[in-house]
Chain A
């Protein structure tokens, strides 16, 4: 229970602290995004593979969600 509270609060606090101003010192300028703009640095890189894997895990394991929506859409045997 404790880990859950800490983990959820850590995410919410990080998100709140990154509202305007909080995370201003972290990051790069527009002209420094050459590496970040590469296809392999995108969070949806290999999206098809990851979506197929997520569906298999959704139907074979008790846990789901996290990266995307967690449920629905499959009877799954």
Chain B
């Protein structure tokens, strides 16, 4: 969806000749000791008559490996019941409990169509569908952009509506219930647990693209997103640990399913500056993000393209990201203390910094086609020992750090 929107807002002010374009790529994604994924992508942007454009994107990915359950490490070996039911997980002493039976495939398709409306307006319409064995999403989007000031300014407004359905493996669990609790197996309960939980997602983007001078382009976006419905992660659990005055303070004694609010508003201000510098092109992006769960995030992404004329181009890239902790984030809950209204131990809602280092080499293979080879390293580092930790929790790294290597190979063609 991101690609189609960017194409809408940026297509007119630069005066670039519209051209059909396709890219086929494969991505190998590998987290250290965790998830591995292989993803294939096909994108097509086809120019039709009367300046109509058709955009298509197909994605297929397969994931396997281990994902954190959200439970706390312990000084002793633990046995944890999987949220998806069935087998238990044996966790060695001192290690983060991970569910290593994670397996999923996803197929996603997006199609968009844009057409001029009069001399200065462009309208777009699109739809997407994606399917995993436990999650489906269907959505439509539309937008309008208008050029002003001798086509030096484009203002755009885009809207999107999506309907997602989550059908967790092992069925839906009542938030905050004990993961070991017996579940009634009567017909009515089964129907309720396996019927699927719905989520509606709405997006609005207000954008402005501005030519600043012969070499410089600026994009500014204000994006508003609202999700309502089932926002809880059905596979995440939280450990209940012994109180500071207990026999073994900080040691897990059980676990419950997490519970998130049923609505979330996400807002972002995004700016991108592109400047041509002779044989190189620099791009700088900044995003300020805040949401109704108390998360504030900053990201800065810088790219540079060095052109070697006939021998291709290289694009080094650096990204820094920081997010604050969500109000609902609780790495663990204390036994005997009343439960908060909501809680999740998902480390993606913790405070952390993330870094990306990347390099793409783009080499021409024939007239109008290129091979793109990308290698990226991505790392997340959070607070190893949050201030609320006590007892045996003080001896563990409570943020499951993440290290990822990504390799991509893409074949791009203009026609």
Name A's B-contacting residues (CB within 8 A). Answer: 3-4, 7-8, 10-12, 14-15, 18-21, 23-24, 26-30, 32-44, 46-54, 56-57, 60-75, 77
Contacts and interface: CB of A to CB of B under 8 A. Distances in A.
Interface of B: 1-7, 9-11, 13-17, 23, 25, 27, 29, 35, 39, 41, 43, 57, 63, 67, 102, 104, 106, 108, 128, 130, 132, 134-135, 137, 139, 141, 148-153, 155, 158, 160, 162, 164, 166, 199, 201, 203, 205-206, 208-215, 217, 219-223, 225, 227, 235, 266-270, 272, 274, 276, 281, 285, 287-291, 293, 295, 297, 299, 305, 307, 313, 315, 321, 323, 326, 348-349, 354, 356, 360, 372, 374, 376, 378, 380, 402, 404, 406, 408, 410, 412
Contacts of B404: 56
A12 to B, nearest CB: 7
Given A18-B155, A70-B266, A47 B3 contact: yes
* Most chain B beta-carbon contacts within 10 A, residue among A3, A11, A61, A63: A63
B80 to A, nearest CB: 16
Nearest to B206: A15
A62 B295 contact: yes
Given A4-B267, A57-B321, A69 B225 contact: yes
Contacts of A34: 214
Contacts of B29: 56
A33 B223 CA distance: 29
Contacts of B227: 71-72
Given A50-B3, A61-B348, 5 more contacts: A18-B208, A20-B149, A48-B3, A49-B408, A63-B289
B211 A66 contact: no
B7 A47 contact: yes
A41 B1 contact: no
Given A48-B43, A67-B272, A73-B1, A42 B148 contact: no
24 contacts: A14-B220, A18-B148, A23-B210, A26-B210, A27-B149, A27-B213, A35-B214, A38-B276, A40-B276, A52-B27, A62-B295, A62-B348, A63-B266, A63-B268, A67-B221, A67-B287, A69-B2, A69-B203, A70-B223, A72-B201, A73-B1, A73-B108, A74-B130, A77-B35
B137 A74 contact: yes
Contacts, number: 272
Contacts of B297: 61-63
Nearest to A18: B153
A25 B297 CA distance: 34
Contacts of A38: 16, 276, 281
Given A27-B150, A49-B408, A61-B354, A72 B139 contact: yes
Nearest to B132: A75
Query: 4 closest Cβ contacts across the A-B interface?
Result: A68-B2, A27-B152, A43-B10, A66-B270
